[in-house]
């Protein structure tokens, strides 16, 4: 899962960056509205954390432009506690949720998880696929109750496929959502990680759809 942080305060930007990376996300950062708008308009993100009070272009204007251009990614806005008008303006502009400053980082993480889940059609923090269970809150996966030992790349790949289970996901889409903008992307690495995941899961859940990509099959669907 790939997240964009648009926050001009260097310390807060860094804290959010470290917390989101620690939670298993790939994270890009911007420090003003112009840069944030450009990244959100040109890169595919699973969620965006957007400050309202930004230099060059304010957060509400950034959000309005994204929505006007048809960008549908979930957006969590950050507002000052005494600026209720920012909350109203943000929601009206197309924000999906908001957090008031000062806040606990854990609250931001929880709200980001919820936005990503809802965008993919999941209500619970646990996503199940047959004997495979993904705990998005703890960033862990188990098979029949046994924890899987996954690298950060393997976890991100598994999480993306499970959030989009029963959907065909192309290699290009996986690359765009699993690596940040500065990463040297190679589509062959996806095949390597899929092979590793299959061996670790030990259950035939990841299907290769020839010429199209991969699909996580939910064995419990329809039962």
Q: What CATH number does residue 133 fall under?
A: 1.10.10.10
pTM of the model: 0.86
| Residue 196 forms part of a structural domain | yes
Note whether 77 and 90 are within 8 A (CB).
Answer: yes
DSSP 58: -
Q: Report whether pLDDT(185) > 70.
A: no
Question: What is the Cα–Cα distance from 182 to 2, expressed in whole angstroms?
Answer: 13
pLDDT of residue 182: 62
97 and 149 share one domain? no
Q: Give 127-169 pLDDT, tens digit per residue.
A: 999 899 999 998 899 999 999 999 988 999 999 999 999 999 9
Of the candidates 119, 134, 149, which is a domain's last residue? Answer: 119
- Asked whether residue 221 is domain-assigned, the answer is no
pLDDT number for residue 18? 96
Strands 168-169 and 206-209: unpaired
pLDDT digits (tens, 9 = 90+) for 21-56: 999 899 999 999 999 999 999 999 999 999 999 999
């Amino acid at each position: 899962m790939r997240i964009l942080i648009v926050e001009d305060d260097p310390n807060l930007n860094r804290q959010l960056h470290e917390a989101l990376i620690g939670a298993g996300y790939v994270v890009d950062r911007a420090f003003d509205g112009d840069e944030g708008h450009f990244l959100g308009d040109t890169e595919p993100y699973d969620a965006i954390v957007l400050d309202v009070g930004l230099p060059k272009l304010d957060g509400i204007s950034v959000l309005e432009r994204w929505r006007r251009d048809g960008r549908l990614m979930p957006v969590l806005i950050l507002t000052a506690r005494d600026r209720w008008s920012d909350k109203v303006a943000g929601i009206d502009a197309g924000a999906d949720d908001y957090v008031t400053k000062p806040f606990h980082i854990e609250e931001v993480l929880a709200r980001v998880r919820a936005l990503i889940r809802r965008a993919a059609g999941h209500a619970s923090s646990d996503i199940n696929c047959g004997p495979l269970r993904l705990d998005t809150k703890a960033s862990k996966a188990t098979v029949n109750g046994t924890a899987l030992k996954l690298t950060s790349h393997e976890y991100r790949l598994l999480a993306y496929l499970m959030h989009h289970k029963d959907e065909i996901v192309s290699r290009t889409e996986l690359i765009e959502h699993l690596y940040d903008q500065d990463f040297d992307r190679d589509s062959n690495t996806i095949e390597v990680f899929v092979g590793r995941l299959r061996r670790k899961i030990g259950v035939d859940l990841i299907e290769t759809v020839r010429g199209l990509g991969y699909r996580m099959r939910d064995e419990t669907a329809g039962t």
